[in-house]
């Protein structure tokens, strides 16, 4: 655990040493971000339209074979097992 903290601190200091003294917040002001976007869209005449299918219920696929469904189920089960193992590992680390 102490090794991880030391490694994290060393990486943080190394990254901080590489940074410049310029303030990133001045580079992302409205003048520098919105103005070029407005210029790029100045000749666009079309207005945005609503997609009627955006919130529609997903269409059930009937053309999947049982083996495809089994593969999808197995992949989902493996993902759930991996997530559970990761949560267990995180809780063990937190306890140490």
What pLDDT does residue 32 have? 60
Q: What is the pLDDT of residues 9-59, one digit of tens each?
A: 777 777 676 666 566 555 656 566 566 677 777 888 888 888 888 888 777
Q: Which residue has the higher pLDDT, 93 or 95?
A: 93
Return left, alpha or beta for 38; rule: phi > 0 is left, psi -120 to 50 is alpha, else beta.
alpha
Query: Would you state the structure tokens that stand for residue 49, as one six-digit string?
Result: 């339209």
DSSP 52: T
DSSP assignment of 41-62: TTT--PPP---TTTTPPPPPP-
Give the phi and the psi of residue 48 in degrees, each rounded to 5.
-65, 145
What pLDDT does residue 75 have? 95
**pTM given for the model:** 0.34
86 burial (CB, 10 Å; 0-12 / 13-18 / 19+) is exposed
Q: What is the pLDDT of residues 78-91, one digit of tens each?
A: 999 999 999 998 88
Residue 69 has pLDDT above 80, yes or no: yes
């Amino acid at each position: 655990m102490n090794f991880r903290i030391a490694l994290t601190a060393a990486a943080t200091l190394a990254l901080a040493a590489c940074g410049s003294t310029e303030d990133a917040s001045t580079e992302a002001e409205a003048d520098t971000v919105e103005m070029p976007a407005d210029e790029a869209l100045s000749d666009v005449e079309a207005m945005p339209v609503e997609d009627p299918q955006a919130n529609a219920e997903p269409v059930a696929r009937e053309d999947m074979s049982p083996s495809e469904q089994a593969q999808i189920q197995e992949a989902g089960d493996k993902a759930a097992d991996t997530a559970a193992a990761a949560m267990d590992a995180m809780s063990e680390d937190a306890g140490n």
